[in-house]
Amino acid sequence: MRPSWDEYFMEIAHVVKKRSTCMRRNVGAVIVKDKRILSTGYNGAPSGLKHCKETGCLRDKLKVPSGQRHELCRGLHAEQNAIVSAANFGVNIEGGVLYCTDQPCVLCAKMIINGGIKRVVFGKGYPDELSINLLKEANVELVKLDSIDLD
């Protein structure tokens, strides 16, 4: 059966997440505008730095629960990498749609809002209610796509 556009781009986000170098959670993101892919990103250490699998995960060592103390993580989130990648190549994402395998956290939500993303389609939930509240306040459409789970 032919996938809907949301299913299609979410499947691509699941392929993108295979590049993740995070030890705790593998996440992929795709930014789309007018049914064209503008940028992709996955979570992991900044370019040129050692991956978490080499250095270890401080959040794991400190037993930090998911959704808390993001500042302790050496990695960037998939959404952040997709937004930064678009900026590096001069690609305007304003008015775009972000497809993400997981619900964005509050840090990513703020970047999504300031980047002008108008719609976020995500798969798995994430324990961060503030991110949902900020996105709704900014009139960013949120769609939880339950039909795709390629893990």
Question: What amino acid positions are annotated as catalytic residues?
Answer: 79
52 is in an annotated binding site: no
108 is in an annotated binding site: yes
* Backbone φ, ψ for residue 71 (5° rounding): -65, -15
Burial of 64: CB neighbours in 10 Å, binned 0-12, 13-18, 19+: middle
51 is in an annotated binding site: no
* 106-115 and 129-137 helices, crossing angle to 10°: 20
Q: Mind spelling out the 3-state secondary structure of 61-80?
A: HCCCCCCCCHHHCCCECHHH
- Return binding residues: 77, 105, 108
- Return binding residues for Zn(2+): 77, 105, 108
